[in-house]
Amino acid sequence: MHILIPVKNTSQAKSRLADQLSPNQRRALTLALLCDVLTALTNSGEINSTVTLIHIISDDPLVRGIASAFNVGFIEDLRPRGLNAALSIAEHRLKDQGAKSLLILPADLPRIRSDDIDALLCRHGDSPSVTIAPAQRDSGTNALGISPPGLIDFSFGPKSFEQHCAAARAQGAKLSIIRRPGLAFDLDTPEDLFAFADDKMPTVAGKLISSWSLETKSEHPGGEECIGS
């Protein structure tokens, strides 16, 4: 299994939070969320018991640094043309390297835990198969497992859940749908930010948000250091 995590350039990430957070805060939050997803992955029993390779795709040198800290692969997105196009390029590269299964996982799932990863990997069946974790809003897709890579096209965005399901059925693949709070909640909107702040989770992102006054848009020098070991 190859796990692919796309990360937007931190100078452009979380733009919908511009009224709540400064550019530096949004950059720090993006990196903190990525750290928490990578921590959940590295603590997963299923990943530690199988041959699983983790890759990040981005054009941001700060994200490359996080990949290095966690000792995971980094695929440089030199031709940013949108999420689905970037994923397709990375998918072809990994398939050429012998990947038999691929899991696409967002970098902004603040409530994700290692047992969510375990459940996701356990649910994924033998090829041909597609496993989907839907988002709790906008009928989007928050995780997508595909065996073999290239079985269906990527359609990430609003209403992508039904599009991915339809594509899987059209290919005659085994379709598994997994619904878990840790996989359903992604942090994009002000409502998400305040909801997650109320959780007061002891994660990198949780501690970072707790250190801020969300009523103001003051500059913040950065966030809590993320350690990959």
What SS3 state is found at 175?
A: strand
Q: Can you read off the two tokens belonging to residue 125?
A: 């069946």
pLDDT digits 0-9 by tens, 24-44 = 999 999 999 999 999 999 999
Q: Which residues, listed in sequence order, are joined to residue 133 by a DSSP beta bridge?
A: 143
E strands in 45-90: 53-58, 73-76
Higher pLDDT, 226 or 126: 126
Asked whether residue 53 is domain-assigned, the answer is: yes
SS (H, E, C) 67-79: HHHHCCEEEECCC
pLDDT digits 0-9 by tens, 132-179 = 999 998 899 999 999 999 999 999 999 999 999 999 999 999 999 999
Asked whether residue 181 is domain-assigned, the answer is: yes
What is the distance between the alpha carbons of residues 112 and 100, in angstroms, rounded to a whole number? 25
Query: Domain range holding 77?
Result: 2-210
Give the residue from 142, 131, 145, 225 showing the smallest Cα distance to 178.
Answer: 131
Count the Cβ atoms, other than its own, within 10 Å of residue 37: 25
Distances (CA, A) of 172 to 130, 158, 166, 198, 213: 10, 24, 10, 43, 50
Evaluate if residue 100 carries a pLDDT over 70.
Answer: yes
Asked whether residue 222 is domain-assigned, the answer is: no
| C-alpha of 1 from chain center | 16
**DSSP conformation class of 165:** H
Domain total of the chain:
1
CATH number at residue 149: 3.90.550.10
Instruction: State the virtual CA torsion across 67, 220, 36, 56 in degrees, nearest 10.
Output: -30
The phi and psi torsions of 198 (rounded to 5 degrees) equal -65, -25
Place of tokens 């041959």: 51
- pTM here? 0.90
pLDDT band for position 82 (50/70/90)? confident
Asked whether residue 119 is domain-assigned, the answer is: yes
Asked whether residue 67 is domain-assigned, the answer is: yes
Q: Can you read off the two tokens belonging to residue 211?
A: 């250190």
Instruction: Give the max Cα distance, the chain.
Output: 52
Asked whether residue 109 is domain-assigned, the answer is: yes
Element (H, E) at 146: strand 141-147
Asked whether residue 217 is domain-assigned, the answer is: no
Asked whether residue 224 is domain-assigned, the answer is: no
